[in-house]
Structure 1
């Protein structure tokens, strides 16, 4: 009967038989596969996979990421080789003889000029292709500037804490309280003469608080991790702990955010150029600048604005899709 010594002995014998070697006569109590005691607790052999490799295995099966990556790759390749494959010089007025202010201010599509020309007789297709390089240059440099500034502030706040963290975060809060496009417009307007570099600087300053707050949060999460506590217990100085242990492990979300910010930087750069705060020399075309120059002709020749607008939308969409896919792959909470 249950509870008697003989019953307890029978239960112990049944449990022990489940741990017997597969070649022994004792089988499992429930008819399952017998497991040797020496094999208990072992993990299946195989190499470990890093976080980024695991994310890549998911991304290469994600059609959203692949679609966005295809757009980004095509944009980068076009920006690199555009001056070599453009059918005409973007600054040459090849169809100026067809421009008539009263009857034909904008030459339409024709052989050799599939998208026509602008109000100065310059080939629109060539200007769009070469403008990709200027747009990419502004977006990348502005994002890098914001990333470096944000990393500096975020590292100071996350590594030292205390009053340093309070001062840095109050500055960041003030910057975040101002709408990004309004602050970029104000910064660019302070310069005496607008140029491409004023746009880059204005957008970079706008992006600094975004990276600073994100990196600061990641650094604070790393401060109490096991490997950081172990380094402190071993007497490692704060500098190596910050730059060898905390900062590298906190850069994952920042890299993902940089991809998303790049799309925002391209849109903001186009907006500032549209408002006349970009490079005034239209011999070096840029998509936002082309939008601004097409404004007087939008009623009669809307294609001058539609083409650069579509380019901006498609490229920003590509970077956004890549950034969102990276975020979902690296963050278990938002992973599909």
Structure 2
């Protein structure tokens, strides 16, 4: 027969034993509280990791230096990049390329123009090409990706088949084909060609992100509450799908620098050498590559270094913003 005082319920008896044990221990006074700290956004959380990431900091340093040189190129260039200051020292037979001397640390080109000044001013042209090409391809990709991912159905099928056709052609070959159709090669033909070549990458990436958002809880809740289609797309689906697209834009900046230099090297860029550009300088140096390789080395090194900086930034951003690969 169990010991059960009159009128006690089994639950009350167990509670009394637990209270007695806690009182006897004399140690359980406060179970503790959870600190009331504000939540951290995805961007703030990513920045906390990025500022401790050496790879990102190296890429950021290279990119910032490139941007500063491009923005202040006219002030940083020691000489006018179009002035033939060393023309009197050019000897076509014996000395076609003047070497370094005081005031001209890298020497001059085949018509006596300061090589260092042309490299510095050429950074501005390279920056304009890669930034505008990435911006135009991003805008076009946002339009196509939003149409395909938000509406689906036949719109998705038509847009994606068009994107698949473009993706079936290598990006540099597609850019070369578009630039070759221009009646007059110019800097803007290079920008247009590169933006068309990279547009389908942004479109497919955004479309995949928006398809994942279509069936998320907050979108389903908004539809259940009777929110119209346009606010759901532009207030809920699109903002939450832009993370991978922004990361891809930093990676496209790196490849745009290389592709712009390639098109200019092939003669499809701005033919006016009074506006120096690294790819154009690289193409002009091929006549003297064996005897004066430094003419090709300096612009090639600038192209590689800038593309390397953008790549480091893009890879670090991808790892910081992707929950599956956070370190």
TM-score by length of 1: 0.91
SS in structure 2 of the partner of residue 277 of structure 1? coil
Could you tell me which residue of structure 2 aligns to residue 298 of structure 1? 289
SS in structure 2 of the partner of residue 106 of structure 1? coil
Residue-by-residue CA offset, 1:229-274 (whole Å, 9 max, x unaligned) = 1111111110111011110111011000000000000100000000
Residues 1:34 and 2:25 are matched in the alignment: no
Q: Distance in 2 between matches of 1:11 and 1:49?
A: 45
Q: Residues 272 and 14 (structure 1 numbering): CA distance in 2 closer, same or farther, change over 3 Å?
A: farther
Q: Distance in 1 between matches of 2:149 and 2:64?
A: 35
Q: Note if contact 1:273-1:288 (Cα within 8 Å) is conserved in structure 2.
A: yes
Give the drift of 1:13: 5.0
Q: Note if contact 1:64-1:325 (Cα within 8 Å) is conserved in structure 2.
A: yes
Residue-by-residue CA offset, 1:146-190 (whole Å, 9 max, x unaligned) = 000000000000000011111111111111110111110000000
Residues 1:265 and 2:259 are matched in the alignment: no
Residue-by-residue CA offset, 1:123-166 (whole Å, 9 max, x unaligned) = 00000000000000000000001000000000000000011111
Q: Distance in 1 between matches of 2:113 and 2:294?
A: 14
Which is further off, 229-238 or 211-220? 229-238
Give the drift of 1:36: 5.0
Give the drift of 1:44: 2.5
Q: 1:81 aligns with which of 53, 72, 75?
A: 72
Q: Distance in 2 between matches of 1:142 and 1:260?
A: 13
Could you tell me which residue of structure 1 aligns to residue 104 of structure 2? 113
Q: What does 1:40-51 correspond to in 2, within 5 Å? A: 43-51=34-42
Could you tell me which residue of structure 2 aligns to residue 56 of structure 1? 47
Residues 1:240 and 2:235 are matched in the alignment: no
Q: Distance in 2 between matches of 1:98 and 1:170?
A: 59
Q: Note if contact 1:219-1:246 (Cα within 8 Å) is conserved in structure 2.
A: yes
Give the drift of 1:47: 1.0
Give the drift of 1:16: 4.0
SS in structure 2 of the partner of residue 25 of structure 1? helix
Q: Note if contact 1:17-1:27 (Cα within 8 Å) is conserved in structure 2.
A: no
Q: Distance in 2 between matches of 1:104 and 1:163?
A: 66
Q: Residues 15 and 139 (structure 1 numbering): CA distance in 2 closer, same or farther, change over 3 Å?
A: farther
Residues 1:169 and 2:167 are matched in the alignment: no
Q: Residues 257 and 26 (structure 1 numbering): CA distance in 2 closer, same or farther, change over 3 Å?
A: farther
Could you tell me which residue of structure 2 aligns to residue 226 of structure 1? 217
SS in structure 2 of the partner of residue 193 of structure 1? coil
SS in structure 2 of the partner of residue 216 of structure 1? helix
Q: Distance in 2 between matches of 1:228 and 1:13?
A: 46
State how many pairs are aligned: 322
Q: Residues 316 and 16 (structure 1 numbering): CA distance in 2 closer, same or farther, change over 3 Å?
A: farther
SS in structure 2 of the partner of residue 66 of structure 1? helix
Q: Note if contact 1:175-1:209 (Cα within 8 Å) is conserved in structure 2.
A: yes
Q: Residues 150 and 163 (structure 1 numbering): CA distance in 2 closer, same or farther, change over 3 Å?
A: same
Q: Distance in 1 between matches of 2:24 and 2:248?
A: 59
Could you tell me which residue of structure 2 aligns to residue 316 of structure 1? 307
Residues 1:179 and 2:173 are matched in the alignment: no
Give the drift of 1:224: 1.0
Q: Distance in 2 between matches of 1:155 and 1:60?
A: 32
Could you tell me which residue of structure 1 aligns to residue 121 of structure 2? 130
RMSD: 2.2
Could you tell me which residue of structure 2 aligns to residue 201 of structure 1? 192
Q: Distance in 1 between matches of 2:62 and 2:189?
A: 28
Q: Residues 26 and 228 (structure 1 numbering): CA distance in 2 closer, same or farther, change over 3 Å?
A: farther
